[in-house]
A and B are shown apart, each in its own frame.
Chain A
Amino acid sequence: MAKISTPAIMAFQINQEKRERIFKKKNDSTDTVSVPLWLESWRRLIRRPTATLGMIIFLALVLMALFPSLIAPEGYDNQQYTKLFQPPNAQNIMGTDNLGRDVFSRVLYGARYSMGVGFFAVIFALLIGGTMGSIAAFYGGRADSIIMRFLDIVLSIPSILLAIAITSILGTNIVNLTIAISISSFPHYARIVRAAILSIKELEFVEAARAIGASDTRIIFRHLLPNAMAPIIVQATVGLGGAILSCAALSFIGLGIQPPLPEWGTMLSAGREYIREYWWLVVFPGMFIMLAIFSVNLFGDGLRDALDPRLKQ
């Protein structure tokens, strides 16, 4: 992947694109539809081995989250007092915990909580942040400065602290946890959406839409947001990693998902007590937190490159 582009190379590219366009026009007399942009990006994406690796790991984790019972040898709260603290072995590949539960099964079921909370927190944050960012960018002026000031305030509180404060007050359950994580992260989405929309708002197709009398809502949702999607998708992907991390961190300090549910952070927190003798109780759950974040980061990096028009080849 050549990252350096000189004017000469860029000139070649422009030529090449022009040529392709004209070539297509010749062949396809009905319309000038070229390869859709998403398909083009997708091709660029899967050409990157790291992005593909990230995607495969991520899909595996999603499958785990959706259908843990298919793979897990035991239930997540299956206590067997005959085999407490078994080290990893053929039957319990990640060992058993203080209640004789199979750590591997718990980790599999745990994907559902960490990733589920992360997923919904991102969606929720995207909705709030996206709306605020769009309003700020679209209306500008006073609305923009009020919203931006507000975001500055929220951003000045480190997000994990804000989430801690919110959950400590709302109480610890899965819904409050999701709300807390999305509230603590929505300013990032708002800023990204605002910046993305600002960069395309003055373009002519928006003027055109306005000229034919499209409403503000229609312009925002039909014209601006779809065209500002690339950076938003990248932020959402990377943000998913952050949300999974927050979920695990809050659970680790006792503010998130409560035992006996097998959230990865909760499992780590419980395993901590036994760290001196039974290392497998802290090693495996943490490894899965890392794997989840790792996969979305790889995928996000790949996406960023694939969607970045400057790196087009």
Chain B
Amino acid sequence: MGRYVLKRLLHLIPVLIGVMLLAFLLNEIAPGDPAALLAGGESATPEKIAQIRAELKLDDPFILRFGDYVKKLVTEGNIGVSYKTQQPVAAEVAHRYPQTLKMAAISAVLASIIGIALGIISAIKQYSFIDNIISMFSLLGVCMPVFWSSLLLILFFSINLKWLPSSGFSTWRHWILPCAVIGTSMAASIVRMTRSSMLEVIRQDYIRTARAKGQVERVVISKHALKNALIPVVTNIGMHFGVLLGGAVIIETIFVIPGIGKYITDAIKNRDYPVVQGSVMVLALTNSFVNLGVDLLYAAIDPRIRSQYRNMGKMKMKKKKAALPLGREAV
């Protein structure tokens, strides 16, 4: 297991460098002269612009500037300076990110619990009335754009019934609608994944073996089937976390929650590129770490992954991919 963690951490390094490079590149090709924009736009004097150019070493070769960017990022946590406020993006992100994470975490936990439970029920009662209902609603949930379901919920619960506030973030009641929107969309996807994974596992020979042992059906499902079925589901939840972070951008705009997503959309309107790039990078990094966590969890459940690293240290990803059960590659 230790070896696996190490290996997996090493795999993260090129991904992190790549993400930084990508973010840096996006900044490079963004229109406008960063120095001029930082100096305050059209009112800036040429001297001021030149001074900033020198400060930012904008005339250095690309690779040096990228090295500098990475160095600043790692040592100072500097991910850029806002054109608009001239403030470091990192400080603003640190201030806002907790709101986004809170929303994402609540939704993800609720969605996982509800989604997995409904998925199991749906699978073991395949083709029953309840399965049809769950399947139908989960399909609708997957197809509903979050920005539309947000508006519908606001229309219904805030405007017609006046039960819940439609914007803001000060009390727990403000969090209900946004979390419900993200949660249901994620839960719908988890239901579908759990159901198909369960159905796949239930027809495996080892489930028949468990039944042939005289094991009671409840234990066959909960011990033998569920644990195997959850392997691809866990991966799916991990990958969904990224979708969820992306969705947060839109949700925060609608519900006026001052998280990192709202920060990004506001920056887009102001053409404040460093903010967009810096924030996107923070979200991408979070996503990478969440996926790392999921992969570790995955190894904890599945002995096959663990031993691949124990027995054949030099075997590369190719083998690992081939050994993964369904669902991993297919997403």
Contact = CB atoms under 8 A, between A and B. Distances in A.
Q: Do any CB atoms of chain A lie under 8 A from CB atoms of chain B in the complex? A: yes
Given A3-B126, A160-B249, A275 B151 contact: yes
Interface in B265-290: 265, 268-269, 271, 273, 276-277, 280, 283-284, 287-288
A4 B203 contact: yes
Contact of B276 (A144, A165, A283): A165
Contacts of B140: 290, 294
B30 interface: yes
Interface in B247-279: 247, 249-250, 253-254, 264-265, 268-269, 271, 273, 276-277
B253 A153 contact: no
Given A159-B246, A161-B249, A164-B249, A275 B159 contact: yes
Contact of A164 (B151, B243, B276): B276
A198 B245 CA distance: 32
Interface stretch (B13-21, B58-66, B68-76, B86-94): B13-21
A308 B34 CA distance: 53
Nearest to B291: A156
The secondary-structure label for the interface of chain B is: helix
Contacts of A307: none
A13 interface: no
A302 to B, nearest CB: 12
B203 A160 contact: no
Contacts of B316: 145
Interface in A1-50: 3-5
Contacts of A294: 139-140, 143
A75 interface: no
A161 B284 contact: yes
A157 B148 contact: no
A156 B246 CA distance: 12
A77 to B, nearest CB: 23
A286 B152 contact: yes
Nearest to A288: B148
Contacts of B283: 157-158, 161
Interface in B108-146: 126, 139-140, 142-145
Given A158-B245, A192-B330, A254-B268, A169 B155 contact: no
User: What bracket does the count of chain A residues touching chain B fall in?
Assistant: 35 or more
Contact of B147 (A149, A158, A268): A268
A219 to B, nearest CB: 20
B35 interface: no
A293 interface: yes
Interface string A281-313: 011001101100110011000000000000000
B17 to A, nearest CB: 8
Interface string A268-282: 100010011001001
Contacts of B317: 145, 148
A165 B282 CA distance: 13
Interface stretch (A59-67, A124-132, A241-249): A241-249
Given A159-B246, A253-B268, A297-B142, A265 B147 contact: yes
A152 interface: yes
Contacts of B271: 168
Interface string B299-331: 000000000000000001110011000000111
B54 interface: no
Contact of A231 (B14, B147, B245, B330): B330
B19 A153 contact: yes
Contact of A3 (B203, B253, B264): B203
A209 B162 CA distance: 69
Contact of A268 (B14, B148, B264): B148
A162 interface: yes
Contact of B152 (A144, A161, A283, A293): A283
Contacts of B273: 168-169
Contacts of B29: 169
Nearest to B28: A169
B242 A158 contact: yes
Contacts of A282: 148, 151-152, 155
A165 B22 CA distance: 10
B199 A268 contact: no
Contact of A157 (B22, B199, B250, B268): B22
Interface string A128-142: 000000000000100
A166 B31 contact: no
Nearest to A1: B127
Contacts of A152: 11, 14-15, 18
A101 interface: no
B280 A255 contact: no
A191 interface: yes
A284 to B, nearest CB: 10
A85 B318 CA distance: 59
5 contacts: A158-B284, A249-B147, A282-B155, A290-B144, A294-B140
Given A156-B284, A290-B143, 13 more contacts: A149-B14, A149-B15, A169-B26, A188-B331, A254-B265, A265-B147, A268-B151, A275-B151, A275-B159, A276-B159, A286-B147, A286-B148, A294-B139
Interface of B: 11, 14-15, 18-19, 22-23, 26, 29-31, 126, 139-140, 142-145, 147-148, 151-152, 154-155, 159, 199, 203, 242-243, 245-247, 249-250, 253-254, 264-265, 268-269, 271, 273, 276-277, 280, 283-284, 287-288, 291, 316-318, 321-322, 329-331
List the 3 closest A-B pairs by CB distance, nearest first: A286-B148, A153-B18, A160-B246
